[in-house]
Amino acid sequence: MTLVDLQKRFDEKIEAEVKIEPKDWMPDGYRKTLIRQISQHAHSEVVGMLPEGNWITRAPSLRRKAALLAKVQDEGGHGLYLYAAAETLGVSREELIDELLCGKAKYSSIFNYPALSWADIGAIGWLVDGAAIMNQVMLQRTSYGPYSRAMIRICKEESFHQRQGYEILLTLCRGSDEQKAMAQDSLNRWWWPSLMMFGPHDSESTHSEQSMSWKIKRKSNDELRQAFVDATVPQARYLGLTIPDPDLKWNESTGHWEFGEIDWEEFWQVVKGNGICNRQRLKDRIRAHEEGAWVREAAMAHAEKQRHRRDVA
């Protein structure tokens, strides 16, 4: 088949909502975009374990500790599903991990903010997982089969993450004045970074248009961000907390919440590596990788020895 025919067949599948599978022909740009997006997503799941993992030993009760441990373990699993999906496109796990550890690959900037108080664990579940869910629900319909299947699996697991976070804040908001203040403080710090998770405005987003036409993305950054604000404002009200945005107001005619402008200078600073925790996160990942090296080698040596014994016997 000629390149023109292959391209035509690919376009027809995208048009007809037929998923693209690993061994199907696909344009180079499509493959590269997917590898970049899926691996960034995988790195985010893995780095995302760090701010929360920090609180497992300090959770205020056994119930909270078990829930947080289960959530963090889920995020590790999400990383695995996504790395596996990226690997179907012809990159190795090793290459992907190397790119993260040498600082070349990006991950979601939200994880470069510190989790300072127990209330932050609530805010992360409610807002950060909430924002991630908006994006992931949309990606269940992405055009690449393995990515879509990973997203379906992940979405099934995510909803408890958001609920456990909201429940933490609900408990704090029903507690003492100090506890409520702690919840408000965490909302103040996590609100804007959560809105930044959806990325630059559509007009500024370099890859957006092509990704939409390939149906890798099904909704734009601004659409998703608006849906998140609309879903979250009533939840904040129920908690009795104030969203730190003086421009936030209900628009009767559009049926949406209008909100203020994001500090894009802060956004780009964190993307460029100058956030509060960028250096710490990478340092922690590198240390974990290096300290685990002997385990990986020993397991491989053991497996080879077993294989050898079997062959001799």
Partner 1 sequence: MNDWPLWEVFIRSRNGLDHKHVGSLHAADWQMAIENARDVYTRRNEGVSIWVVESRHIHASDPEEQDTMFESARSKVYRHPTFYDIPDEVGHM
Pick the closer one to partner 1 by CB: 154 or 282: 154
Question: Which residue reads 């958001």 in tokens?
Answer: 162
Smallest separation (angstroms) from Fe ion to the CB of 44: 8
Pick the closer one to partner 1 by CB: 91 or 248: 91
Residues 130-149 as x/- pattern, contact with partner 1 by CB under 8 A: -------------------x
Pick the closer one to partner 1 by CB: 78 or 219: 78
Pick the closer one to partner 1 by CB: 276 or 303: 303
69 Cβ contact list (under 8 Å, min separation 6)? 56
Which option in Fe ion, partner 1, none does residue 161 bind, with CB closer than 5 to 8 A by kind? Fe ion
Point out which residues bind Fe ion (CB under 5 A): 45, 75, 78, 129, 158, 161
Pick the closer one to partner 1 by CB: 97 or 172: 97
Pick the closer one to Fe ion by CB: 70 or 181: 70
**From 65, 93, 141, 201, residue interacting with partner 1 (rule: CB under 8 A):** 93
Locate 161 and state its tokens. Answer: 């993450």
Helix axes 28-47, 62-87, angle to 10 degrees: 160
Residue 5, CA distances (Å) to 10, 44, 64, 240 in order: 9, 37, 56, 59
Residues 69 to 88: which contact partner 1 by CB under 8 A? Answer: 70, 73-74, 77, 80-81, 84, 87
Smallest separation (angstroms) from partner 1 to the CB of 210: 24
Site for partner 1, rule CB under 8 A: 1, 21, 23-25, 70, 73-74, 77, 80-81, 84, 87, 92-94, 149-150, 153, 157, 293, 296-297, 299-300, 302-303, 306-307
